[in-house]
């Protein structure tokens, strides 16, 4: 169709322009000396891989902590640490070697986010609006920050967006993509109840329990399978390391913008750790209930859940801002139907 071909050309032209801009932005920080990144999380991911190679358990150090003060404990699921160890064994033993591999991979994941978002708007005939949204996610301050410090956000968010966009038409692949996102960085774990409710609502009444159970197994597959060796190695250390993010002190918040529980804990010293998360969890619970009982989409609910995490979590880092932003921008136009001459979005189709 002539119209479709015209839009295809616009899409690829827009993506090419964004890719050039993104590549220039990423390359501008690729010359950052490795020594300048040795205090960032990406360095400690490499370091935990090195510890695994020499037979040290990356999750055992937390046993000497008070579960409040952070000493760069291994708080991610093992997938990234195992990949770090594997790459070092394959001939990339130094931190600089690790950066040579991670930088282009991070760029590709960042462009993957841009491609998914641009197509989401493109199939709805919102080319100019979509270009602006994609540019925000590519060149906005939160993306620049993540690029500078080499965090895992682009990879984790890419697979999360891919999962949500595939969920209706390719459910099993969507659940596996969500599992991979959690394996990279588990911030999106708060969306797990939404996925389970979605499976419950879309399954036939006779197969709901089976579908939810199978879906849960797929979602947990990557985090659980990669965690089993470390659970067997030191179960207490592993569990405490994973839970540390929920109990750590809120002193790492952005100065001048503490969360509600951080303010209250100044006069209520007992309001820390998991107890301090109750307001956040209650708000998330209302969103889960809304998704179950009201006519609201999983994309809108996901955006709001991640916004609650951003606004109410005790610890706030600048990379957290990109999570709700990515979802909210998509939710803005989710109700706009795809144009008649376009197929519904399927990122796995060419």
Distance CA 110, CA 104 (A): 10
Q: Whole-angstrom Cα distance, residue 83 to residue 101?
A: 11
Integer CA distances (angstroms), 269 to 120, 265, 280, 285, 309, in order: 47, 5, 18, 25, 22
**CA torsion sign, 259 to 262 to 263 to 268?**
positive
Q: What is the pLDDT of residues 240-269, one digit of tens each?
A: 988 888 777 665 556 677 777 777 666 666
pLDDT computed for residue 65 by the predictor: 80
The per-residue pLDDT for 3 is: 41
pLDDT value of position 120: 94
DSSP 8-state secondary structure symbol assigned to residue 4: H
The token pair at 211 is 């579908």
pLDDT per residue as tens digits for the range 65-89:
877 777 788 889 999 999 999 999 9
The predicted pLDDT at position 68 comes to 72
Res 45: pLDDT: 94
Which runs of consecutive H residues, i.e. helices, occur in 140-207?
Answer: 141-149, 153-166, 171-184, 192-202
**Which stretches of the chain score pLDDT less than 50?**
1-6, 350
Contact 15, 122 (CB under 8 A): no
pLDDT digits (tens, 9 = 90+) for 4-31: 444 578 899 999 999 999 999 999 999 9
| This prediction's pTM | 0.91
Q: Which residues contact 43 (CB under 8 A, 6 or more apart)?
A: 37, 95
Q: What is the pLDDT of residue 346?
A: 57
Stated as kind and residue range, the H or E segment containing 26 is helix 2-30
Query: Does an H or E element contain 314, and which?
Result: none
Strand, helix or coil at 136? Answer: helix
Q: Which residue has the tokens 């950066």?
A: 99
Q: What is the pLDDT of residue 251?
A: 57
């Amino acid at each position: 169709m002539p119209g479709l071909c015209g839009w295809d050309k616009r899409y690829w032209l827009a993506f090419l322009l964004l890719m050039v801009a993104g590549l220039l932005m990423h390359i501008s920080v690729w010359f950052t000396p490795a020594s300048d990144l040795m205090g960032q999380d990406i360095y400690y991911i490499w370091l935990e891989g090195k510890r695994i190679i020499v037979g040290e358990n990356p999750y055992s150090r937390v046993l000497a902590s008070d579960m409040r003060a952070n000493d760069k404990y291994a708080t991610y699921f093992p997938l990234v640490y195992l990949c770090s160890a594997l790459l070092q064994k394959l001939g990339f033993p130094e931190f600089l070697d690790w950066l040579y591999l991670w930088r282009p991979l991070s760029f590709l994941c960042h462009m993957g986010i841009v491609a998914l978002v641009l197509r989401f708007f493109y199939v709805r005939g919102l080319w100019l609006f979509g270009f602006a949204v994609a540019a925000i996610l590519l060149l906005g301050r939160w993306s620049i920050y993540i690029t500078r410090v080499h965090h895992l956000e682009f990879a984790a968010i890419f697979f999360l967006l891919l999962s949500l966009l595939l969920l209706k038409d390719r459910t099993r692949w969507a659940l596996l993509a969500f599992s991979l996102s959690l394996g990279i960085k588990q911030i999106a774990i708060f969306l797990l109840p939404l996925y389970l409710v979605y499976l419950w609502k879309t399954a036939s009444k006779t197969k709901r329990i089976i579908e939810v159970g199978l879906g849960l197994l797929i979602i947990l597959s990557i985090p659980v399978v990669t965690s089993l060796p470390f659970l067997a190695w030191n179960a207490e250390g592993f569990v405490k390391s994973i839970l540390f993010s929920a109990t750590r002190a809120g002193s790492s918040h952005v100065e001048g913008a503490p969360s509600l529980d951080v303010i209250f804990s100044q006069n209520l010293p007992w309001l820390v750790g998991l107890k301090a998360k109750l307001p956040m969890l209650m708000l998330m619970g209302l969103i889960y209930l809304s998704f179950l009982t009201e006519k609201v989409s999983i994309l809108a609910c996901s955006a709001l859940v991640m916004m609650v995490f951003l606004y109410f979590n005790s610890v706030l880092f600048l990379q957290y801002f990109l999570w709700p932003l990515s979802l909210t921008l998509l939710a803005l136009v989710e109700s706009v139907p795809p144009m008649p001459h376009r197929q519904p979005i399927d990122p796995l189709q060419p």
